[in-house]
Amino acid sequence: MFSTLSEVPPDEPFAVNGAYKRDSNPQKVNLGIGVYRTSDGNPWPLRVVEEAEKELFEASDVNRHEYLAIQGDADFLSLAADLVFGFGDYEGSSRQVAENMRQRVVSIQTVSGTGANRLGAELLARNIRPGCVWIPNPTWANHYTIWDLAAVPKKEYPYYDSTSKAFDFNGTFRTLSTYAKANDVVILHACAHNPTGADPSQEQWKMLAQLCKEKGIIPFFDLAYQGFASGDAKKDAWAIRHIFHDLNQVEFCVAQSFSKNFGLYGQRVGALHMALSANAPTNVSSNLLANLCHLVRGEYSMAPRGGAEIVKTVLGSKDLRKKWLEDLTTMSERILQMRHALFDELVKLGTPGDWNHITNQIGMFTYIGLTESQVSAITERHHIYMLSSGRISISGLNETNVQYVAKAIDDVVRT
Ligand code: LMR
C-alpha cells in the first residue's frame, strides 16, 4: 500500500545534526542546527528555567497533569501577548487603553513556533483564501513545508543581497509593490532573520508596514528570537509593535516561539497571536478564537502544558523576569563575542574576501558566504557541519574551536 508514496527529502537542520552525531572524529564541530551552546559546547538549561522548575516541582500542584483548555493556559497567553505587543507599557498611563489593545489580539497556545506558523497558515488558507504567500528567499526551510501543507501557492521575494551581504530592501520593496495583491500573505522574520542574520532597519520596516497597509497584504511575523537576538525583548519586537500601534487597522499574525529565548526547544512552547484592526466589529474575536480552537481540537486537542508552566512562572514574577533578562544577555553576549572572535581569526589569517558581515549580522545565524561545494569540502576535510547554503549557527563556536573553524574556512576558500 505504501509503495506508491512519493519520496520526501530529509529536513536539512535535523539531517545535518544527525550526521554530526554519527561522526566519530574528535575535532568535529556542529554549526548546523539552531540551538544555543555554552562555551563548553553543551546545551544550557537557563538558570531561571531551573529555578522555575524547582519552584513548580516543590509546589507539586495536583492539577499539573490535567487537560488545559483547548485555547491553552489563559495566564500564559496573556503574558506571552504582553511580551510581544508591550501592553504593559501602556498600563501606567491608562489601564483602559491597555485593555482596549488587549482586546485587539486573539491568542492561542501552540506547539511552539512551528505549530503557530502551521495553525496560522491553515486558518488563513481555509477562511481567508490568500492568492499566494510571499516567502523571503532565503528563509527557514520549514516555511515552504508549512505553506505546502496548507495548499497556498508560494511566491518568493528577494530577501538577501549577496553582494552587500545584507537585507535586499530594494528587491523586497519592488517585488511586493509590483506583484503582491490584496489578501496575499507575506512572511516576515520579526528579528534575527533565519538563515541570514540580516534584518531591515526601522525605517525599512516602516516602509514595508505602510506598503502592507496600502496594498492590503497580510503580514505574518515569525518571532522565534525575541530577546535572544539583541538581549532586549522590546527592541526585537519593534516591527510588530510599530505595525500594531501605529498602523492599527492592519490585521496580521504573529507566530511566537519560546524555544530559543527560554532554551525550551523540546518542550514545544509557543503561541499564535492574531492582531485585529482597531475597527474590527466586536464579535470578530470570539468567532476567530472558536475557529482556531476547532482546528487545534481536530489536530491535537491542545498544546502541551509543561513548558508553558515554566514560561508563565518566569514571566509572571518580577524577580524571575529580571533573571531571565540576565540569562538572555548571557546568551546574546556570548554569540556576539564569537562573531568577533571568528571575524578576528579570519582577518588574522588574511582569508580572501570581506568578512564584515559576520559582525554586522545578528542573532543565532550567519550566512558565512561559502559555496555549496566549499560546504561539502569543509565537512569532508575538517568535520565541520553547517547547512549547504553556508548558514552557520554561531553558538556552535567557542574559544576552543574558533581558530580551527577559521583555519578550515581559510582552507576551503583558498582551494
Ligand atoms: C534551525 O533553523 O536550525 C532551528 O530553527 C531548528 C528548526 O526547527 O529548524
pLDDT, tens digit, 9 for 90 and up, residues 206-217 = 999 999 999 999
Give pLDDT, residue 97: 83
C-alpha cell at 315: 514571566
Could you list the beta-strand ranges (E) of 203-333: 218-223, 252-257, 269-275
- Over 80: is that where the pLDDT of 182 sits? yes
Provide the percentage of residues in the chain whose pLDDT is more than 90: 94
Q: Which of 73, 82, 134, 140 is catalytic?
A: 140
Q: Which atom of ligand 1 lies at the shortest distance from residue 393's CA?
A: 3
Give pLDDT, residue 37: 96
Radius of gyration, alpha carbons of the chain: 22
Q: Which atom of ligand 1 lies at the shortest distance from residue 11's CA?
A: 9
Give pLDDT, residue 295: 98
- Over 90: is that where the pLDDT of 88 sits? no
Provide the percentage of residues in the chain whose pLDDT is more than 70: 99
- Alpha carbon distance 66, 206 (integer Å): 44
Domains of the chain: 11-45+328-414 (3.90.1150.10), 67-316 (3.40.640.10)
- Alpha carbon distance 357, 359 (integer Å): 5
Q: Which of 82, 147, 184, 260 is catalytic?
A: 260
Give pLDDT, residue 135: 98
- Alpha carbon distance 34, 291 (integer Å): 32
Q: What digits encode the pLDDT tens for the residues 270-308?
A: 999 999 999 999 899 999 999 999 999 999 999 999 999
Q: What digits encode the pLDDT tens for the residues 44-85?
A: 999 999 999 999 999 989 999 999 999 999 999 999 999 999
Q: How far is the CA of 13 from the centre of ligand 1 (A)?
A: 6
Which residue lies with its CA nearest to atom 4 of ligand 1? 34
Give pLDDT, residue 286: 96
Catalytic residue at 235?
no
With a Cβ cut-off of 6 Å, ligand 1 is lined by 13, 33-34, 140, 142, 194
Q: How far is the CA of 10 from the centre of ligand 1 (A)?
A: 13
Q: Which atom of ligand 1 lies at the shortest distance from residue 140's CA?
A: 2
Question: For residue 254, what are the contacts with CB-CB under 8 A and spacing of at least 6?
Answer: 84, 116, 190, 221, 223, 240, 272, 273, 275
What is the DSSP code string of 38-79? -TTS-----HHHHHHHHHHHHH--GGGGSPPPTT--HHHHHH
Residue 110 phi, psi dihedral angles, 5° rounding: -135, 170
C-alpha cell at 66: 490535567
Prior bond of 138 cis (ω within 30°): yes
The DSSP symbol for 156 reads: E
Catalytic residue at 222?
yes
Note the ipTM here.
0.94
Mutation probe of ligand 1 site: the residue of 140, 258, 268 with most atoms within 8 A of C-beta = 140
Q: Which residues pair with 156 in a beta bridge?
A: 135
Q: Which atom of ligand 1 lies at the shortest distance from residue 33's CA?
A: 3
Q: What digits encode the pLDDT tens for the residues 329-387?
A: 999 999 999 999 999 999 999 999 999 999 999 999 999 999 999 999 999 999 999 99
Q: How far is the CA of 162 from the centre of ligand 1 (A)?
A: 22
Give pLDDT, residue 140: 97
Please report which confidence band the pLDDT of residue 99 belongs to, taking 50, 70 and 90 as the band edges. confident
- Alpha carbon distance 32, 11 (integer Å): 12
Q: How far is the CA of 367 from the centre of ligand 1 (A)?
A: 14
- Over 80: is that where the pLDDT of 90 sits? no
Alpha carbon distance, N-terminus to C-terminus of the chain: 49
Listed in sequence order, the DSSP H helices in 150-226 are 169-179, 202-215
Q: What digits encode the pLDDT tens for the residues 237-268?
A: 999 999 999 999 999 999 999 999 999 999 99
Question: For residue 164, what are the contacts with CB-CB under 8 A and spacing of at least 6?
Answer: none
Give pLDDT, residue 100: 87
- Over 90: is that where the pLDDT of 89 sits? no
Mutation probe of ligand 1 site: the residue of 111, 143, 194 with most atoms within 8 A of C-beta = 194
Mean pLDDT to the nearest integer, 144-158: 98
Q: How far is the CA of 193 from the centre of ligand 1 (A)?
A: 12
Q: How far is the CA of 395 from the centre of ligand 1 (A)?
A: 13
Which residue lies with its CA nearest to atom 1 of ligand 1? 34
Q: Which of 82, 168, 184, 222 is catalytic?
A: 222
Which residue lies with its CA nearest to atom 6 of ligand 1? 34
Q: Which residues pair with 252 in a beta bridge?
A: 275
Nearest of 181, 169, 185 to residue 121 by alpha carbon: 185
